[in-house]
Amino acid sequence: MDLTLLVDYGPALLRGFGVTILCWAAGCAIGLALGFALMLLGRVDFKPLRWIVRAYIEIIRGTPFLIQLFLLYSGGPVIGLRLEATTAGILGLGVYGSAYFAEIFRAGYQAVPKGQVEAALSLGMPYGGILRRVILPGMLVSTLPAIVNMMAILTKETVVLSIITVPELMYEMQTMAAETFATFETILGMALFYWLLVEAVSRLGRRAEARVTRFLTHSSNARA
């Protein structure tokens, strides 16, 4: 076992790690925004639209991420959609995560007590105000742990992006293994990098949960 290889290939691995973080962060942002939009569309009182949203969620959740990525990157040119590998990877992560985030948001929306919404309606508050002041705070508290968990899962899904030649961590690790035949060092380094990333996401998530809880508690006390 020659751990000095991790030092020799350090710059390339760090570049790959940076691409991994970029793809993960951008993919999560797209997934969260699209998932929230899907949740809202799924509550519109128009059955065909709700069926379309439901079908989208079930198809995305029911097919492997690898197949979705191949369809987007390799199948895209068939319909005139030509994307760079990194762009396809980011978009693929966003689309994949959006179905799960939509379900998380749906559960959070349903967890908000109906009495609070009815009370806001009785006061003449518009739906936008109800969404911002009543529903979103309640949703945030109940969904934040699940959101953080899904974001941690997406960090590990980034390894699939190497298959479409995205120069992320897995791609650089495979390059190191091909050039040095150091399989064990490659696996060890990869495990270390991804463990650090997932651990960082988990710790940041716990801090965010604590801050949101303190903020909402302080706001409730202030209103009382």
Question: Which of 10-14, 61-65, 90-94, 162-166 has the least mean pLDDT?
Answer: 10-14
In sequence order, which residues have a C-beta less than 8 Å from that of residue 130 and are 6 or more positions away?
Answer: 117, 120, 121
- Report d(CA 126, CA 212) in Å as an integer: 24
CA distances from 186 to 4, 10, 191 (A): 11, 12, 9
pLDDT of 216: 65
- Report d(CA 189, CA 173) in Å as an integer: 8
What single DSSP character describes residue 77? G
CA distances from 120 to 71, 106, 117 (A): 45, 20, 5
pLDDT tens-digit readout, 104-161:
999 988 888 888 777 887 877 887 787 777 788 778 878 888 999 999 999 989 999 9
Q: How confident is the model at residue 41 (pLDDT cuts 50, 70, 90)?
A: very high
- Report d(CA 168, CA 162) in Å as an integer: 7
In sequence order, which residues have a C-beta less than 8 Å from that of residue 159 and are 6 or more positions away?
Answer: 168, 169, 170, 190, 194
pLDDT of 180: 83
What single DSSP character describes residue 81? -
In sequence order, which residues have a C-beta less than 8 Å from that of residue 27 and are 6 or more positions away?
Answer: 89, 90, 91, 92, 93, 94, 96, 97, 154, 158
Q: Are the beta carbons of 13 and 189 closer than 8 angstroms?
A: yes
pLDDT tens-digit readout, 176-219:
888 888 778 788 878 888 888 889 888 888 888 888 777 666 66
pLDDT of 84: 92
pLDDT of 222: 53
Q: How confident is the model at residue 21 (pLDDT cuts 50, 70, 90)?
A: very high
Among candidate residues 83, 213, 71, 90, the one with its CA nearest the CA of residue 144: 213
Q: Which two tokens stand for residue 211?
A: 């801050």
Looking at every residue in the chain, the average pLDDT score rounds to 86
pLDDT tens-digit readout, 62-104:
999 999 999 999 888 888 888 999 999 999 999 999 999 999 9
pLDDT of 5: 75
pLDDT of 23: 94
pTM: 0.86
